[in-house]
């Protein structure tokens, strides 16, 4: 299979990154130490290449109406310059992807989807757009997106950006100029820390990356790869599609029922309404343990020898120093404080049910 590459491939190679396939793209896993990259984001700042994420433009006089009917949320209620976390489901209520929708203008939205789901999200939106003559354009291959995440991210980005970042709220977006390039700057991220995502044309990707790396050199900013991004999002209790969300895991099981607005008509509404009417038979929870062994995705969760669920994501937390995991458990085993065992390569690991997130930023 031919992998896509981001506009920053040469930069990653020059920095000695370990490159791996991810979601159909060749991406940096790490540049040096996973732990150092994770710690930089928690204490200072990290710089990520997110150009693999799908970037989809939605425009037209009925764009708001179209998105309301296409997604589980109600994007028409967004004010210009604001964003919303939402999902797209099929007619049977199965989650095709989780998304962030940004409203750029009255008749223009920007949708960011997961890299592995780009084509099916574009296809679904395109098919659903025909009734409203709304334009759906996939800009992924002509754009670059980089993220600055961490407690010092605002001061670093401000030094090369003409927008007043102190006025940019969480889940907001604004046009700006970054390192001389026209950009969209959003105060969003996937790390549990304050941070920004910067969208530019593909040719500006390397200059913007280089300018940010230089601007943050004295503030502890380092380039970060997928490995640290995953441990950061897991500590923050953020779901990853294919692990905590999928066609087989409903928003209600994942604890994301609040995202689904059943008071409007959308594709999959009736099926989701039926699911909402019944208590879920399983729930996504957090697990915490002791020692240094990590419970990885796919590990079985047991209570008294009986199978009660499965780990969806797990790691030895770099920040906390003990094992943490997200797990999909039978409802009667999912109460906080419940003691369970996880089968870690044939050996039991005692873990206790808790409510994510595992780490909350203090800056």
pTM for the predicted model, two decimal places? 0.96
What is the spatial distance between Cα 262 and Cα 243, in angstroms, rounded to a whole number?
25
Helix or strand or coil: residue 286?
strand
**Is pLDDT at 242 greater than 90 in this prediction?**
yes
Predicted confidence (pLDDT) per residue in 72-104, tens digit: 999 999 999 999 999 999 999 999 999 999 999
**Is pLDDT at 363 greater than 90 in this prediction?**
no
Q: Which CATH architecture has domain 1-231?
A: 2-Layer Sandwich (3.30)
Closest among 316, 300, 309 to 348, alpha carbons compared: 300
What is the fold, at CATH topology level, of the domain defined by 257-354? Elongation Factor Tu (Ef-tu); domain 3 (2.40.30)
Q: What are the boundaries of each domain within the chain?
A: 1-231, 257-354
Q: Same fold for the domain at 1-231 and the one at 257-354?
A: no
Q: Which residue has the tokens 């029922």?
A: 257
> Across residues 147-174, what is the average pLDDT?
98
Asked if residue 113 lies in contact with residue 54, where contact means CB atoms within 8 angstroms, the answer is yes
Which pair of structure tokens corresponds to residue 225? 């790869």
Predicted confidence (pLDDT) per residue in 250-305, tens digit: 999 999 999 999 999 999 999 999 999 999 999 999 999 999 999 999 999 999 99
Q: Sorting pLDDT into bands at 50, 70 and 90, what band is 1?
A: confident
Closest among 180, 271, 190 to 233, alpha carbons compared: 190
Mean pLDDT, the chain, rounded, equals 97
**Burial per residue of 46-64, b for 16 or more beta-carbon CB atoms within 10 angstroms, e otherwise:** bbbbbbbbbbbbbbbeebb
């Amino acid at each position: 299979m031919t992998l896509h590459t981001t506009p920053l491939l040469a930069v990653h190679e020059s920095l000695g990154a370990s490159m791996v396939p991810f979601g159909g793209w060749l991406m940096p896993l790490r540049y040096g130490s996973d732990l150092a990259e994770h710690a930089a984001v928690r204490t200072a700042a990290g710089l990520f290449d997110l150009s693999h994420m799908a970037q989809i433009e939605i425009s037209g006089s009925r764009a708001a109406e179209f998105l309301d009917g296409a997604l589980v949320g109600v994007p028409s209620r967004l004010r210009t310059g604001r964003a919303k976390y939402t999902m797209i489901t099929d007619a049977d209520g199965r989650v095709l992807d989780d998304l962030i929708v940004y409203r750029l203008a009255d008749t223009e939205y920007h949708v960011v989807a997961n890299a592995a789901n780009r084509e099916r999200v574009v296809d679904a939106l395109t098919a659903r757009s025909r009734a409203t003559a709304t334009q759906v354009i996939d800009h992924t291959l002509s754009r670059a997106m980089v993220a600055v995440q961490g407690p010092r991210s605002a001061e670093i980005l401000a030094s090369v950006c003409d927008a007043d970042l102190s006025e940019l709220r969480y889940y907001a977006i604004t046009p700006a100029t970054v390192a001389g390039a026209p950009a969209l700057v959003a105060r969003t991220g996937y790390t549990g820390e304050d941070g920004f995502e910067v969208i530019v044309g593909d040719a500006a990707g390397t200059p913007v990356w280089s300018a940010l790396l230089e601007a943050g050199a004295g503030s502890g900013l380092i380039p970060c790869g997928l490995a640290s991004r995953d441990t950061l999002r897991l500590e923050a209790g953020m779901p990853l599609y294919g692990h905590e969300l999928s066609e087989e895991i409903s928003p209600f099981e994942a604890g994301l029922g609040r995202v689904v607005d059943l008071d409007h008509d959308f594709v999959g509404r009736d099926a989701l309404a039926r699911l909402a009417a019944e208590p879920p038979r399983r729930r996504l929870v957090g697990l915490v343990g002791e020692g240094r062994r990590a419970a990885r995705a796919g590990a079985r969760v047991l209570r008294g020898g009986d199978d009660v669920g499965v780990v969806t994501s797990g790691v030895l937390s770099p920040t906390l120093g003990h094992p943490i995991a997200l797990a999909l458990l039978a409802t009667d085993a999912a109460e906080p404080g419940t003691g369970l065992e996880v089968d870690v390569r044939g050996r039991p690991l005692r873990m206790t049910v808790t409510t994510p997130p595992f780490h909350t930023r203090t800056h």
